[in-house]
A = this chain, B = another copy of it.
Amino acid sequence: MNEISEQLHGKGRYATRTRERVAQVLREERRYLTAHAIHEMLVARGISISLSTVYRTLELLVGLGVAATRGEENGEISYVFCTVQHHHHAVCRTCGRVEEVGCGPLARFARDLRAGQGFELEDHAIELYGRCSDCAKR
């Protein structure tokens, strides 16, 4: 019984094979995927699952804090595996891999912002794009 199963069990939800499979895709891929893409990947593996269930499971995982969403420019919603603590995502433009990074230097940024235009920073959303260590070598 893994971490997600324990969280589900603690909240009176069932830890089903179906849910574990959706979570497994996110754990393996580590990049932003739409519900549709996840569904297709599971079907390609010979697993029978409905698109509705994929949506519901993703919503559940986001609620548990183990998945994060991002609104794409075309209106689609993408999901990615995620840890609970506050962090940001560095997205590789070559392979799509998502790495988590902290946000230490933002403290100084917030101070400058308040001094400059009186804006009191409460929160921030950052996405970083570039090349992951593997792809940068090639």
Contacts and interface: CB of A to CB of B under 8 A. Distances in A.
A27 interface: no
Instruction: Say how many copies of this protein the assembly contains.
Output: 2
Nearest to A122: B130
A77 B75 CA distance: 6
A124 B117 contact: no
A76 interface: yes
B119 A125 contact: no
A127 to B, nearest CB: 4
A133 B113 CA distance: 11
A97 to B, nearest CB: 10
Interface stretch (A8-16, A17-25, A40-48, A65-73): A65-73
Interface of A: 69-77, 90, 92-93, 99, 101, 104-106, 108-109, 112-113, 116-133, 136
Closest 5 CB pairs of A and B: A71-B71, A118-B133, A122-B130, A123-B129, A125-B127
